[in-house]
Amino acid sequence: MKESSFVGVFEAVAREILGDKAVHRKGNLFYELFLDRKLELAVPCTRHPKRGSSAFQTDICIVEMIDGIPFPRVAIEFKKNITTHDILTYSAKAGMHKRIYPCLRYGLLSSEMNSIPSRFFTHNEHLDFFIAAKNYKSQKALRPFAEPLLKKELKISRTLEAIHFGDKKFDCYRRDIIFENLSSARTNCGGT
């Protein structure tokens, strides 16, 4: 399956789950914002990032409309297969975006891999999830793990937002790492 075809299948499932306004294909996200010599933001409009103007394009960006503004919550990149170079590149890209959007969750989906290669664990620093989706390329197969995954990532994003921009306080932090096979999961990958 071509990468763009898989993106289209996932996009359709995400739209069924979250609605049309929440799913942006080829969504642009800033990777840097800086001040000019007048100490003013050098980007004319922060609400509409443009590729090539301090913004990278993502394959899918899940947004939440807040006061009419599409606030980015989850970015997903799609590849057929994942090389070490891809892991390094997308991990760095995720890190750059997360400096601008501290509540953003970021992941990779591979349409032609049926397991996560060990090099991912060696080289990843900033990606929050990876799905080897070779056996889940139809809408029917995607939905059982896509729905809980997206809802879980949105929940985490909202919690991060409350920490960064609200007054949410905690006295415990723990990072869970979940390893499982989607066929038997239903799913902790999405978490219930």
pLDDT at residue number 1: 63
Per-residue pLDDT tens listing for the chain (192 residues): 677 789 999 999 999 999 999 999 999 999 999 888 999 888 878 888 888 888 999 999 999 999 989 999 999 999 999 999 999 999 999 999 999 999 999 999 999 999 999 999 999 999 999 999 999 888 898 998 899 999 999 999 999 999 998 888 888 888 778 887 876 555 556 554
pLDDT at residue number 131: 93
Own/partner pairs for 135-144, CB < 8 Å, 24+ apart? 135/182, 135/183, 136/182, 137/1, 137/6, 137/9, 137/111, 138/9, 139/9, 139/12, 139/13, 139/16, 142/9, 142/10, 142/13, 143/13, 143/16, 143/17, 144/182, 144/186, 144/187
CA distances 65 to 20, 72, 120, 123, 136, Å, are 11, 9, 33, 34, 29
**How far is Cα 174 from Cα 14, in angstroms, rounded to an integer?**
28
**How far is Cα 5 from Cα 80, in angstroms, rounded to an integer?**
11
> Are the beta carbons of 187 and 177 closer than 8 angstroms?
no
Backbone angles phi, psi at 75, to 5 degrees: -110, 135
pLDDT at residue number 192: 46
Which amino acid type is present at position 77?
A: E
pLDDT at residue number 47: 85
Work out whether the CA dihedral 41, 42, 47, 53 comes out positive or negative. Answer: negative
What pTM did the predictor assign? 0.88
Domains and CATH numbers, the chain: 3-185 (3.90.1570)
pLDDT at residue number 149: 93
User: Residue 118, exposed/middle/buried by CB under 10 A (0-12, 13-18, 19+)?
Assistant: exposed
pLDDT at residue number 188: 56
